[in-house]
Structure 1
Amino acid sequence: MLVKKSLYFCLFFLLAFSFSGCSTNNSNLKFIAFLHDDGIKGYSSQWFDLSDGLPRDLIPEHITEDFQGNVYLTSEFSGIFRLNKGETKWENISSPIFKRRTQLPDVHEFRDISALCIDPENQSRIVIATKHTLYESKDRGKSWQRINVVDNKNSYYFTSLALEKDTIYAGTSFNGILKITSKATEEINNGIPKEFYVGPFHFCEEVSALAIIDNTLYAGFLFGKGLYKSEDRKNWQKIDIPFSDTARASISAIYKSKNSILITTSEGVFEFNPSSGRVEKFPLKKELQEMLRDDRVNIIFSKAEGENPALFIKKNTWKYSAEKTSPAGNKRALYVSWGMIDKDFEGFLSIVERTGFNAVVIDSKDDQGMINFKVDSKIASEIKAIKERDITSIIERLHKKGIYIIARHVTFKDKRLYEAYGNKYAIWDKVTNKPWVGLPRERWCDPFSQFVRDYNIEIAKATAKLGFDEIQFDYIRTPTDGLVGRCLYRYKTESDTFKSEILGDFIQQAARECKIPISLDIYGFNAWYKFGNIMGQDIKFLSRFASAIYPMVYPSHFGASFYKRYSEEDRPYYIVRDSAIRAIYHSKGRTVIRLWIQGWDYLSPTWGPDYILKQIKGVHDGGGISYSFWSPSGDHSMVDRALSNR
């Protein structure tokens, strides 16, 4: 074997010891590890704290080093840091231009540094990504300039980078691989893994690693999609990696090691021989395998030593404890419409009790902006948005049965507020200079308006006072249908604010003020890929503030071509299972993932009790516990048949 295996054996043997070693110097730093509950640790001759200069709440994203042995660490919301060789204190080399755009006066943090690359031919040149933007430093991080990406769709979510002279190769969350020059941006995706949606329309798998080795471009992917190579920078060939868990296994980084290539993954290290085409699991002792399975450790970094390259391993699993620690956890819910409440609430309650559900979802504010029961709100009264209905008896009855009550609150889709005050808070049409209209029945308010956000939070707080246990914000996004390119957000205070950032402001403020769990609905595909700047639903970012997230993963709503490799009978199971896996990973396990699954017959050729049971099994096999059944009418007779054998 070309690599000195004893180095890696030593690494994982030492990792098995306690991480509470004494402090020491950094003259011979060998390893760095990130523990969920104990931060950044280093190892030279023993383990020691390596957090000097780092924020206490740091969440690292990537660690690498230059040829001189200086280490660079990027983070989710704390910026980028450098640890110079021989030193013990990290230096923050972030620029103010990386700052999160926010309208919250007390929030001072950075955008997610989602990708990093050091130029192999000029170690002073560093390129980073902050999700949708690229920046360059030519002086090791002393100064930074934004890179103009020609033909940028403004939806690209950069996840990995490789540099070759003046060309930047960028991996993305769903657009595949880009070749970026000063003159053009080209998608070079022929042969990479894709999921087809309808006809030729598709999503590319997230590119988690890029590397240029011996004039060949290599790309690594998330969720078992493996390793690919391109010699002509246009067409790609797959290199099979023998993963054991093809639903979860992911590639962290790709390195040159003399005559072979090392691929670090969530399942360990693999070695690829370009001459023979063989891929072998890099033989590691039992201690390594145990450490890779250890929930405490998420990131492992081994510095380069001699002919041994640096190795960065990022596990594709997070400790998912929110179900047990959050009051929003371990909830199985049924949605009940007001039509069903008025028509047959007794029948609905019988289903809840027979089937063992412990939560219900009730509409509080609907998509016309009407509040379905009496609340204390001056603004809602002014715009005549309150229905004279008393919900007290319903709440009391549900609580007596031990039922957790969730208020579904439609947020920015609000006809009442849109039309009020002379359309003052409507999204504007920059072509007609009038209030913007998307689909005929939809009216959208501007999420960048503090008044709009405050109004929704006022209603949520008033709803909580009535006895609801959780506020679930729906339609927490910007519009996606109609001539959305003409939308003008007049209340945007900084022109380059990401849509996800203003939604983050809203959820962060709501969570502070409402005093009960706050949750939000997102499109199902936003649990699969990072679509942050299209409609704002960035699951990774928003999961920092929400107690629960509900990806809407109804199997019938995934395109006709999606997951066609599975039978019609099994397709619902695999869609739900993989949605759970991805949602938990992207949210880093820090919020409850309560999938919305399908409780009504819609484009479902195998509809029946088994359809229901396979969705539930998909939740559990994907690592989830909580789920909610959606049926627009509130009719859950099929759920009843499936779970109570009626």
Structure 2
Amino acid sequence: MPPAASEVQVLDAETGEPIGGAVVQGSGEVRVTDSAGRSAWPAAGPYVVTAVGYEPVRLRSGRSTVRLRAMARNGRVVDQEGVPVAGAIIAHDGVWAESDTAGRFAFRGDLTEGEVIVKRAGYRPFEGSWDGKSPLVLERLELRALYISFPRLSPDYVPHLLERMAQRGYNGVVLDAKSDRGLLGWDSQVPLARELPEVNNQAWMPITEVLKLAKQYNFYTVARVVTFKDHPLATAFPQRAVRRGDGSVWIDIEGLGWSDPFLRENWDYNVELGKELAAMGFDEINYDYIRLPTDGAIKEIVWPIEHTYEMRTGAIDGFLNEVRLALRPMRALLSGDVFGLVPSVVKGNDMGIGQTVETITPYLDILCPMVYPSTFIPGNLGLKDPHREPYEVVYRSVVAASKRTTTPIRPWLQGYSLGVEFGPREWSAEVQAALDSTDMGFVFWLASGKYDGLLKADLPTRTAVK
């Protein structure tokens, strides 16, 4: 049968890009498309259109355009013992797939050039070439990490701290990337960051240099991004800030302004920062202050939209979904911090800040509740004196969260003293609770960054679980 059109253009079905070198075969005649994907049809059919890496298309008659689907490359993700890894993300050149319960995945696209990224919560990310046949292997990781704030990022202190951490069995570090004051730990090229006064003016060691040092110890690296608590943004652009009824910028109990969580342009700024950090090589981007303000004259705030549960949770979820989509094809996992009480409050109660386990976790790879015993009051978690029961606070909180989501839980642990002196006994109790309730590990929070006591303490390990 002669073709209905004299010429054909062969295109990629997903991208719409022309496919040069595609073979157009008719009855006893073969043509090849040029760089624009164009070719004359053979005189008679039936026809078969093929291209390397694409599924063939068979036609009884010719037409002006043929779209080819990229051939699915089947693979499997396993751990070091050959156990299938479900829910792993396999990414290459902006395209990604997810492994099923048997660790299997089907990837449409050419994986023969460049590197493939494989990531999953609880494992070290893999980034390298793949032969298309062998299973992709992920190394299990139970994190033991410390948080380092900007004031401790000095060339004299950081190398010593990282070496001590490695000696004491720690395998990860959380670095401030965007701080509680809205300052950045690197020379960001995000346009808004270039406009804000002094956010890039670091008086500390750039996190790019700290990242390189951490990688030398094979540390898992996490960049912490304080999200909506952002004084430089709020004061430079009051129209984007949380405001009072008279239009002035609302100021919290620390004397700091916040960006409005309901405004998409504020989402975009933090999404772009996260992408920049992921491209830098961080294994995880951890978003903190993904909520509405709590401390200060809250009643003075006038919100631009109706202040309901649906609108509050919708704003936080909308932002996290944007981050998730941006980071999915990149190396970094996405984690989010929530108040320690969030896992134990009744379902449907966001405490007025837009955070609930059920609404947030669909967008996260890891949920990180801040379960510091000193922040709980008598009666919380059914405990008379939470301050003096660090094991129960951590254990009950993580278990409560785990019952409400399938997203992995990794708690923040209290490394400081407030109300009750915290030392080796309390730290050990917290670590033991983390070991007993999750296999994701933990991160210690100590804003001062003075970890001498913690690094001397003999804390429980997985090989010595009680």
Give the Cα separation in 2 of the matches to 1:503 and 1:572.
Answer: 30
Answer whether contact 2:142 2:439 (CA < 8 A) is retained: no
Are 1:585 and 2:399 an aligned pair? no
Give the Cα separation in 2 of the matches to 1:333 and 1:437.
Answer: 33
1:371 paired residue among 167, 170, 184: 184
TM-superposed deviation, 1:602: 2.1
Give the Cα separation in 1 of the matches to 2:343 and 2:174.
Answer: 21
What is the percent sequence identity of the aligned residues?
27
Q: How many residues align?
A: 319
Give the Cα separation in 2 of the matches to 1:470 and 1:324.
Answer: 11
Answer whether contact 2:285 2:333 (CA < 8 A) is retained: yes
Kindly tell me: are residues 480 and 397 of structure 1, through their superposed partners in 2, closer, same or farther at Cα, counting changes over 3 Å? Answer: same
Are 1:456 and 2:270 an aligned pair? yes
Q: What is residue 361 of structure 1 aligned with on the other side?
A: 174
Q: What is residue 575 of structure 1 aligned with on the other side?
A: 393
Q: What is residue 149 of structure 2 aligned with on the other side?
A: 337
Answer whether contact 2:431 2:459 (CA < 8 A) is retained: no
Answer whether contact 1:573 1:617 (CA < 8 A) is retained: yes
Answer whether contact 2:241 2:259 (CA < 8 A) is retained: yes
Answer whether contact 1:335 1:628 (CA < 8 A) is retained: yes
TM-superposed deviation, 1:637: 2.1
> Which residues of 2 match residues 193-592 of structure 1 at below 5 A?
324=122, 330-342=142-154, 343-384=156-197, 385-388=199-202, 390-421=206-237, 423-430=238-245, 432-490=246-304, 492=305, 497-514=310-327, 515=330, 516-529=332-345, 530=347, 531-532=349-350, 534-560=352-378, 562=380, 571-586=389-404, 588-589=405-406, 591-592=407-408
The Cα offsets for residues 195-219 of structure 1, whole Å up to 9 and x where unpaired, read as xxxxxxxxxxxxxxxxxxxxxxxxx
Give the Cα separation in 1 of the matches to 2:122 and 2:235.
Answer: 43
Kindly tell me: are residues 326 and 487 of structure 1, through their superposed partners in 2, closer, same or farther at Cα, counting changes over 3 Å? Answer: farther
Give the Cα separation in 2 of the matches to 1:325 and 1:391.
Answer: 23
Task: Tell me the TM-score normalised to structure 1 length.
Answer: 0.46
Answer whether contact 2:377 2:386 (CA < 8 A) is retained: no
**619-628 or 374-383: bigger deviation:** 619-628
Q: Which runs of 5+ in 2 are unaligned?
A: 1-100, 102-119, 126-139, 461-466
**Secondary structure at 1:508's aligned position in 2?**
helix
The Cα offsets for residues 394-422 of structure 1, whole Å up to 9 and x where unpaired, read as 2122112111111111100101110113x
The Cα offsets for residues 34-78 of structure 1, whole Å up to 9 and x where unpaired, read as xxxxxxxxxxxxxxxxxxxxxxxxxxxxxxxxxxxxxxxxxxxxx
Give the Cα separation in 1 of the matches to 2:271 and 2:446.
Answer: 26
Answer whether contact 1:498 1:533 (CA < 8 A) is retained: no
**372-381 or 408-417: bigger deviation:** 372-381
TM-superposed deviation, 1:495: 7.2
Answer whether contact 2:376 2:387 (CA < 8 A) is retained: no
Kindly tell me: are residues 641 and 381 of structure 1, through their superposed partners in 2, closer, same or farther at Cα, counting changes over 3 Å? Answer: same
Q: What is residue 39 of structure 1 aligned with on the other side?
A: none
The Cα offsets for residues 506-563 of structure 1, whole Å up to 9 and x where unpaired, read as 1111011123211111110012114325101111211100111111111111115546
Give the Cα separation in 2 of the matches to 1:335 and 1:382.
Answer: 28
TM-superposed deviation, 1:622: 2.3
Give the Cα separation in 2 of the matches to 1:358 and 1:565.
Answer: 33
Amino acid aligned to 2:147: Y
Amino acid aligned to 1:349: L
TM-superposed deviation, 1:609: 1.0
Give the Cα separation in 1 of the matches to 2:456 and 2:124.
Answer: 31
Answer whether contact 1:323 1:330 (CA < 8 A) is retained: no
Amino acid aligned to 2:366: A
Answer whether contact 1:526 1:551 (CA < 8 A) is retained: yes
**Secondary structure at 1:535's aligned position in 2?**
coil
TM-superposed deviation, 1:603: 1.9
Q: What is residue 452 of structure 2 aligned with on the other side?
A: 637
**Secondary structure at 1:520's aligned position in 2?**
strand
Q: What is residue 611 of structure 1 aligned with on the other side?
A: 426
Is the helix fraction higher in 1 or 2?
Answer: 2
Give the Cα separation in 2 of the matches to 1:446 and 1:568.
Answer: 33
Answer whether contact 1:592 1:626 (CA < 8 A) is retained: no
Give the Cα separation in 2 of the matches to 1:581 and 1:545.
Answer: 20
TM-superposed deviation, 1:386: 1.2
The Cα offsets for residues 459-493 of structure 1, whole Å up to 9 and x where unpaired, read as 11112222211111111100112232332232x49
Greater than 6 Å deviation, 4+ residue runs:
493-496, 566-570
Give the Cα separation in 2 of the matches to 1:568 and 1:583.
Answer: 18
Amino acid aligned to 2:316: L
TM-superposed deviation, 1:636: 1.9
Give the Cα separation in 2 of the matches to 1:496 and 1:595.
Answer: 25
TM-superposed deviation, 1:340: 2.1
Kindly tell me: are residues 642 and 340 of structure 1, through their superposed partners in 2, closer, same or farther at Cα, counting changes over 3 Å? Answer: same
Give the Cα separation in 1 of the matches to 2:270 and 2:278.
Answer: 12
Kindly tell me: are residues 510 and 354 of structure 1, through their superposed partners in 2, closer, same or farther at Cα, counting changes over 3 Å? Answer: same
Kindly tell me: are residues 625 and 420 of structure 1, through their superposed partners in 2, closer, same or farther at Cα, counting changes over 3 Å? Answer: same
Kindly tell me: are residues 626 and 644 of structure 1, through their superposed partners in 2, closer, same or farther at Cα, counting changes over 3 Å? Answer: closer
Kindly tell me: are residues 562 and 369 of structure 1, through their superposed partners in 2, closer, same or farther at Cα, counting changes over 3 Å? Answer: same
The Cα offsets for residues 563-601 of structure 1, whole Å up to 9 and x where unpaired, read as 686788961111111011011112x22x22110001122
Give the Cα separation in 2 of the matches to 1:495 and 1:554.
Answer: 28
Amino acid aligned to 2:267: R
Kindly tell me: are residues 577 and 488 of structure 1, through their superposed partners in 2, closer, same or farther at Cα, counting changes over 3 Å? Answer: same
Give the Cα separation in 2 of the matches to 1:564 and 1:453.
Answer: 37
Q: Which runs of 5+ in 1 are unaligned?
A: 1-294, 296-321
**Secondary structure at 2:335's aligned position in 1?**
strand
Kindly tell me: are residues 390 and 337 of structure 1, through their superposed partners in 2, closer, same or farther at Cα, counting changes over 3 Å? Answer: closer
Are 1:600 and 2:416 an aligned pair? yes
Q: What is residue 132 of structure 1 aligned with on the other side?
A: none
Answer whether contact 1:500 1:533 (CA < 8 A) is retained: no
Amino acid aligned to 1:475: Y
Amino acid aligned to 1:559: I
Give the Cα separation in 2 of the matches to 1:567 and 1:536.
Answer: 28
Answer whether contact 2:415 2:445 (CA < 8 A) is retained: yes
Q: What is residue 440 of structure 2 aligned with on the other side?
A: 625
Give the Cα separation in 2 of the matches to 1:542 and 1:428.
Answer: 25
Answer whether contact 2:175 2:224 (CA < 8 A) is retained: yes
Kindly tell me: are residues 437 and 636 of structure 1, through their superposed partners in 2, closer, same or farther at Cα, counting changes over 3 Å? Answer: same
Kindly tell me: are residues 631 and 521 of structure 1, through their superposed partners in 2, closer, same or farther at Cα, counting changes over 3 Å? Answer: same
Q: Please report the RMSD computed on the Cα atoms of aligned residues, expressed in angstroms.
A: 2.7
